[in-house]
Amino acid sequence: MRSAPYVWKRVGFALLTVYVSLTFNFLLFRVLPGSPVSRISRVPNASSELKDALIAQFGLDKSLGEQYLLYLQQTLHGNLGISYANRQPVIDNLVVAFSNTIPMVMTGTVLALVIGIVLGVASAVRRGGYIDHLGTNIAVLFYAFPTQFLGMMILIFFAGTLPSAGMSDPFAIGGSGWENLVDRIRHMILPVLTLVLTLFAENVLIVRSAMLETLGEDYILTARAKGVSRRRLIRAHALPNALLPIVTLVAMSLGTIVTGAILIEVIFSWPGIGRTLYMAVLKRDYPMLQGGFLAITIVVIAFNLVADLIYFKLDPRITS
């Protein structure tokens, strides 16, 4: 099988990258000025006994090597520390935040991708036609909007018609499952709309140019000469080739979307990972930040791994 060595190599690289970022995460907070103890013990009448007790409690009296092993061990067991802000384990906070973010971001990304591919292909196939002109110009217009501005405008425009903050109506208690679901979806509309509008433009432009390039290739002429219908020409010949650059791009952007959703989550008060990090920065919640960074790093690496594997599936020319 040609796939086995490639897949193992990619997975190996991904794991290696995660390990390096774990280590980096450890070292980064060691080189910051001041220790956690000096920060916590900065209270009136803090005795040196209290300090020593804290140092022992946090294991800071051990050597750096021991601390590192302890850190790795604890992290692998899912212990990322306790949040300063709400005294809950960081890992629990992260799980909640991600489970709130993922449905919203995924819906937005998939919609943006579908719209991007459909509009991009249509623009390329009817190059110079009205779909092309309209599609490209609208895409460029939205591409130029900063997310926060677009979000605010949408908020102002739809405020009153659609819920503009949070994930659910805090006063709707005891509704049926169906009512709750509808409420959730209604809350998701505005943030998803903002996300789609900021993302689809890039997809349209990239799909269009990749498709135009592919349509000019010789094998497209060969397929036409063979008598392949226009629909099949696009689906079976042009799209599989044009998708190659798109896959890489989408995967790269998926990673950044998780962090990029910070602005949207803040605007629409969406209790996701972006807003959690934003609040952690405001409150100097270091354990939360450290855990958040690690989680995001892992998500980005995972998406890149997925992209590599999809690319491998699509392009037979990749062997190692």
Binding site for other proteins (CB under 8 A): 5, 8-9, 12, 217-219, 221-229, 236-237, 240-241, 314-317, 320
Least separation, in Å, of the C-beta of 211 and other proteins? 15
CB of 163 to other proteins, least distance (A): 45
Alpha-helix runs per DSSP H in the chain = 3-31, 36-40, 48-58, 64-76, 90-125, 130-144, 147-158, 177-215, 218-226, 230-232, 239-267, 273-282, 286-314
Provide φ and ψ at 228, rounded to 5°. -65, 135
Is the Cβ of residue 241 or residue 297 nearer to other proteins in the bound state? 241
The minimum distance between CB 100 and other proteins, in angstroms, equals: 39
Minimum CB distance to other proteins, residue 218 (Å):
4
Instruction: List CB contacts of 303: < 8 A, sequence separation 6 or more.
Output: 251, 252, 254, 255
Residues in the chain: 320
b/e per residue 93-109 (b: at least 16 CB within 10 A): bbeebbebbeebbebbb
140: how many CB neighbours lie within 10 A of its CB?
12
Shortest reach from residue 132's CB to other proteins, in Å = 15
The whole-angstrom separation of Cα 18 and Cα 10 is 12
C-beta separation of 91 from 291 below 8 A: yes
The CB-of-128 to other proteins minimum distance in angstroms stands at 10
- 92 vs 315, beta carbon nearer other proteins: 315
Smaller CB separation from other proteins, 13 or 58: 13
Which is nearer to other proteins, 1 or 282 (by Cβ)? 1
Question: 238 or 258, CB closer to other proteins?
Answer: 238
Calpha distance 203→251 (Å, rounded): 12
Of all helices (H) and strands (E), which one includes residue 225? helix 218-226
Using alpha carbons, select from 101, 100, 104, 116 the residue that is nearest to residue 192.
104
Q: Shortest Cβ distance from residue 42 to other proteins (Å)?
A: 49
The residue among 24 and 219 lying less far from other proteins, judged by its C-beta, is 219
Identify which of residues 18 and 228 has a Cβ nearer to other proteins in the complex. 228
